[in-house]
Structure 1
Amino acid sequence: MPARAQQGDTPANAQQQFEKGMALMQSGALTEALVQLEAAQQLYAAAADTDGEGKSWLHIGLVYMQTAQYERAREALMQSLALLDTSAKSERGLALLNLGRIWSQHGEYEQALQYFEQARSIWIALGDAATEATTLYEIGKAYSALHRPDSATAAWQAALNIIGDAQNEQFVGQMLTDWGDLQATQGEKERALDSYKRALDIWRTLTSKEQEQETLAKIGQLHLATQEYPAALATYEELQTLASQRHDPTLAIQAQTQISLTQNYISIATLQNDLAQARRLNQVDEQAQVLESLGALQLAIADDGSAISDYEQALALWRAVENRAKEGFILGRMAKLYVKWQKPQEAIDLFNQQLFVWKITEEREREAATLGDIGLAQLQNEDSDGALTSLQRSLALWQILQDLAGVAGAQTNLGIYFSAEGDFANAAFYFAQAVETWNGLQQPAEAAAVYQQLAESQIEQGDVPSALATLEKALTAAQEAADHLIEATVWDRLGALHFQQGDPERAQKAWVQSLRIWRVGGDLSHQAATLGNLGAVLLAQEQPDEARPVFDEALLIARRLKNYAQQGKILDTWATFDKKQGELYAAVD
Structure 2
Amino acid sequence: MISKLLNVFLNYANFTKRTAFAFPKKNAARRNLPRAIATKFIFGIASASLVCGLFSAATAQRRTVRPRPKPAARSQSSAGEKTFDEAAALFGENTKDSLEAALIKFDEARQLYAQSGDKKGEADSLTMLGRTYSNLGYAEDTVKNFVAAVALYRSVGDKPGEASALSNLGGLTRDLSRYDEAVKFYQAALPLMREIKDKNGEAKALNGLGETYLGLKRLDEALASFNQALALYKTLDAKKEVIRTNLNIGSIYSTSEATRPNALPLYNQQLAAARQLGNPTLEGAALQSLAYFYDQSGEKQKAIELVKNALTVYRKNSKDPLSQAQIAFSFDTLGYLYYRMGERENALTNLEAALDIAKREDYPFTLQYVLGTLGEVYLSAGNGAKAVEFFNQGLSLAGQTGTKRAAAYNLIGLGNAALFGNKTADALRFYNQALPLSNDFALQSRALAGIVRADAVLNDSNGALQALRQAQNLTVNDGNFESVFEIVNAVAVGRSQFDSPQNAVQVFAEAVSTARKSGYKIGEARALLSLGLAYEKANNPQKALESFNQALPIWRKIGNALAETTILVEIGNSNLVLNQYQPALETFNQVLTFAQNSNDQSLRALALNNIGFVYWKTGDNNRAIDNYNQALPLYENLNDRQGQRRALVNLALVYETTGDKKKAKEYRKKAERFK
TM range (shorter): 0.3 to 0.5
What is the TM-score of this pair, normalised by structure 2?
0.39
* TM-score of the two chains, using structure 1 as the length reference: 0.44
Name the one with the larger helix percent. Answer: 1
Larger RCO, structures 1/2 (Cα 8 Å, 6+ apart): 2
